[in-house]
Amino acid sequence: MRIAILGAAGMLGRKLVDRLAAERTLAGEPITGFVLHDIVTPSAPIGDYEIELLSSDFSAEGEAAKIVALWPDVIFHLAAVVSGEAEADLAKGYRVNLDGTQALLEAIRAVGSGYRPRFVFTSSLAVFGAPLPDVIPDDFVLRPLSSYGAQKAIGELLVADYSRRGIIDGISIRLPTICVRPGRPNKAASSFYSGIIREPLNGEEAILPVSLDIRHWFASPRAAIGYLVRAAEVASDKLTVRSLTMPGVSATVADEIEALRKVGGDDAVKLIREQPDPAIHAIVSTWPKAFDARSALELGFVADQSFEEIVEIYQRDELGKA
Amino acid sequence: MRIAILGAAGMLGRKLVDRLAAERTLAGEPITGFVLHDIVTPSAPIGDYEIELLSSDFSAEGEAAKIVALWPDVIFHLAAVVSGEAEADLAKGYRVNLDGTQALLEAIRAVGSGYRPRFVFTSSLAVFGAPLPDVIPDDFVLRPLSSYGAQKAIGELLVADYSRRGIIDGISIRLPTICVRPGRPNKAASSFYSGIIREPLNGEEAILPVSLDIRHWFASPRAAIGYLVRAAEVASDKLTVRSLTMPGVSATVADEIEALRKVGGDDAVKLIREQPDPAIHAIVSTWPKAFDARSALELGFVADQSFEEIVEIYQRDELGKA
């Protein structure tokens, strides 16, 4: 089995490559090769695999055809212009996130000859827009309030239609906010969700810009990789709906802090400094609080068990502590 | 006020041009000119107007720019590859219905200088897919089961996002099945809905391929034109949601036949011949039966009062009978 990954140099892409290369199988089949693509050249995995490393703008003319040229059996489409940039640069967001996804699907169609890969598209909670119920059901209407969310919702419609037409065997998975993200803080409004765990566990001060009662929907990087793998495995005949909200952990900022206390102690918690930022508060307070992700659970997608587990996964996977 | 209409040579396009040209105003402003576009050259309306008639594939490079070159204040986007053709020719459907709509929105953005037209996009009930409740609420999830439906759902997302970004002042209206369509029967699965009224009123036999209890959602051509006009008029600040299901008349085939009896008598009804077609029955039995189109009603969109009125409108507007 040959696997293609777009966005292979990103945080999730690298972890996905590492896990697949270590496991050597996917959906019960031995993995023989990887086609890894990103805007910068991705790293090759360790192991005895045929490996093709591609770097380009996949939305540029002819690039998508190169990615599917070797008929990958599974295509993980993780590539996207991120939320903030899609809002700042409308044309670029639509070119990559919409036109690029369309070009990729058309390149698959152009292969013909019965080629029909499993196509895993990473969608986002940004497809949902306020007003939202406290617990959002699987069949909730998509009313995105960002260009990124609109582009992801459009991607879901394309994946569903191209699947119905027999061109791909597609599945869109809406990932929760990934926490704890390794690395440094960034300018995303969601940055503090990881920062208030990551920085204290590294002995650094973290800024908390919102109140303790703000609630949101989380998955560890490890759980997210599990969703991607499961999305490649789930039987086609179970996919009566092609877009699935992923399960997650619903936690308040207060829940986060209590989990940090259990794992890192009071000294870690003392490194969180409350510094209210009304602009960030306004943004994140409209975000989803929790989902009833029943369909995904029935299909075998497995969430973290608690926010404490999410913190422990960061300690183990990123800091190397047991 | 200058008005552009894409799809101006179609059934609704021609009726819209005629009505606007006769009324001479829209949203309280005098109409000064029309830009009329279609794949074939549209007819010019009667009246003292600046008129530009354009014929082209509006999705072709540079064509959208010509349509918006004169800064129309209102753009009615009725142009589309229809349902059957979008299913038969995937590439053409996406090129016109998705890429074309995107090109049009990008052409508007390229004008810049504060240009922000009212943009009326005709969407469709095909954005909804089975399983459906008997009465579909305004916030029901979009799960189209045709490429046409997917393309219309994507169009709605684009219209909402470009409106949020201040590039257009957009509104997508989901039209009911238009009944009674003038003209001849066609190969659409929905053709009989008009046929069993139109043919008998013209003294011809009509085939009924489905059972009497099949229920669906209808609007007369006159009501549909009313929706388009209202969509151009409704105040921007009322459009908290940019996609609206239009009100309509929910009627069974039996209701249709009783309305025909009242208007055309028993002799007309006798011209309907039942000839069950399981394929057509299977298709139309998955279609929406009724909507609770509350948001549109609150915004002043007005439906036909009954199926009898729908039949009378056909007699009056198409056959010239009082």
Determine whether the interchain pair B102/A90 forms a contact, defined as Cβ–Cβ distance below 8 Å.
no
What angle in degrees, to the nearest 10, is found between the helix axes of A307-319 and A253-269?
50
- Taking the C-alpha atoms of residue B17 and residue B25, their distance in angstroms, rounded to an integer, is 12
Long-range contacts of B30-34 (CB under 8 A, 24+ apart): B30/B1, B31/B1, B31/B2, B31/B3, B32/B1, B32/B2, B33/B2, B33/B3, B33/B70, B34/B2, B34/B3, B34/B4, B34/B5
The pLDDT value recorded for residue A172 is 98
- Given a contact cutoff of 8 angstroms between Cβ atoms, the answer to whether B167 and B105 are in contact is yes
pLDDT-based confidence at residue A187 (cuts at 50, 70, 90): confident
Write out the residues of chain B at the interface with chain A, using a CB-CB cutoff of 8 A.
90-91, 94, 98, 102, 106, 109, 139-145, 147, 150, 153-154, 157-158, 160-161, 164-165, 241
In chain B, residues with a C-beta closer than 8 Å to the C-beta of A98 are 102
The pLDDT tens digits for A229-288 are 999 999 999 999 999 999 999 999 999 999 999 999 999 999 999 999 999 999 999 999
- Taking the C-alpha atoms of residue B121 and residue B14, their distance in angstroms, rounded to an integer, is 16
Of A154, A160, A161, the CB nearest to B157: A154
Q: Which two tokens stand for residue A65?
A: 């055809």
pLDDT by 10-residue block (mean), chain B, 322 residues: 97 97 97 98 95 97 96 98 93 97 98 96 96 96 96 98 98 98 89 97 97 98 98 97 98 98 97 96 93 98 98 96 80
Q: Span A75-97, mean pLDDT?
A: 95
In the numeric block, the tokens 């906010």 are attached to A177
pTM of the model: 0.97
In the numeric block, the tokens 């990559």 are attached to A96
- Taking the C-alpha atoms of residue B193 and residue B290, their distance in angstroms, rounded to an integer, is 15
Of A102, A153, A161, the CB nearest to B157: A153
What angle in degrees, to the nearest 10, is found between the helix axes of A191-201 and A253-269?
20
What angle in degrees, to the nearest 10, is found between the helix axes of A147-164 and A101-111?
20
- Given a contact cutoff of 8 angstroms between Cβ atoms, the answer to whether A293 and A244 are in contact is yes
Percent of chain A surpassing pLDDT 90: 96
The pLDDT value recorded for residue B97 is 97
- Taking the C-alpha atoms of residue A58 and residue A56, their distance in angstroms, rounded to an integer, is 6
The pLDDT tens digits for B239-293 are 999 999 999 999 999 999 999 999 999 999 999 999 999 999 998 999 999 999 9
The CATH number assigned to the domain with range A2-176+220-245 reads: 3.40.50.720
Which CATH entry fits the domain spanning B2-176+221-245: 3.40.50.300, 3.50.50.60, 3.40.50.720, 1.10.8.60?
A: 3.40.50.720
Is the link from the previous residue into B180 a cis peptide, with omega within 30 of 0?
yes
Q: Which two tokens stand for residue A173?
A: 């998975």
In chain A, residues with a C-beta closer than 8 Å to the C-beta of B130 are none
The pLDDT value recorded for residue A322 is 73
Of B90, B141, B154, the CB nearest to A141: B141
The pLDDT value recorded for residue B66 is 97
Q: Which residues of A does the annotation mark as catalytic? A: 148
In chain A, residues with a C-beta closer than 8 Å to the C-beta of B109 are 90
Total count of residues recorded for chain A: 322
Is the link from the previous residue into A180 a cis peptide, with omega within 30 of 0?
yes
CA distances from A255 to A214, A218, B226 (A): 10, 12, 54
Closest CA to B123 of B163, B160, B95: B160
Secondary structure (3-state) at A113: coil
In chain A, residues with a C-beta closer than 8 Å to the C-beta of B174 are none
In chain B, residues with a C-beta closer than 8 Å to the C-beta of A165 are 90, 147
Write out the residues of chain A at the interface with chain B, using a CB-CB cutoff of 8 A.
90-91, 94, 98, 102, 106, 109, 139-145, 147, 150, 153-154, 157-158, 160-161, 164-165, 241
CA distance B142 to chain A (A): 7
Determine whether the interchain pair B160/A139 forms a contact, defined as Cβ–Cβ distance below 8 Å.
no
Of B94, B139, B147, the CB nearest to A141: B139
- Identify the closest residue of chain B to A127 by CA–CA distance: B157
- Catalytic residue (choose from B49, B94, B115, B148): B148
Determine whether the interchain pair A144/B165 forms a contact, defined as Cβ–Cβ distance below 8 Å.
no
Determine whether the interchain pair A141/B143 forms a contact, defined as Cβ–Cβ distance below 8 Å.
no
Helix (H) or strand (E) holding A84: helix A83-88
List, as one string, the DSSP characters of B268-307: HHTTEEE---HHHHHHHTTS---B--HHHHHTT----S-H
pLDDT-based confidence at residue A188 (cuts at 50, 70, 90): confident
Determine whether the interchain pair B102/A98 forms a contact, defined as Cβ–Cβ distance below 8 Å.
yes
Determine whether the interchain pair A157/B150 forms a contact, defined as Cβ–Cβ distance below 8 Å.
yes
- Identify the closest residue of chain B to A137 by CA–CA distance: B141
The pLDDT value recorded for residue A73 is 98
- Taking the C-alpha atoms of residue B67 and residue A317, their distance in angstroms, rounded to an integer, is 56
Of B102, B145, B165, the CB nearest to A164: B145
Of A109, A139, A157, the CB nearest to B153: A157
Which CATH architecture group holds A191-217+249-291+302-319?
Alpha-Beta Complex (3.90)
The residue type at A132: L
Torsions phi, psi for A260 (to 5 deg): -60, -40
The pLDDT value recorded for residue B266 is 98
Q: What is the mean pLDDT of chain A?
A: 96
CA distance A237 to chain B (A): 16
- Given a contact cutoff of 8 angstroms between Cβ atoms, the answer to whether B82 and B63 are in contact is no
- Identify the closest residue of chain B to A158 by CA–CA distance: B150
Helices (H), A114-216: 147-164, 191-201
Q: Where exactly are the structural domains of chain B?
A: 2-176+221-245
The pLDDT value recorded for residue B322 is 73
In the numeric block, the tokens 């200088």 are attached to B113
∠ Cα B2 B4 B8 (to 5°):
135
The pLDDT tens digits for A1-12 are 999 999 999 999
List, as one string, the DSSP characters of A219-275: E-HHHHHHHHHHHHHS-GGG-SSSEEEPP-EEEEHHHHHHHHHHHHHHHHHTTEEE-
The pLDDT value recorded for residue B188 is 84
Q: Span A175-185, mean pLDDT?
A: 95
Q: Which two tokens stand for residue A30?
A: 């031995």
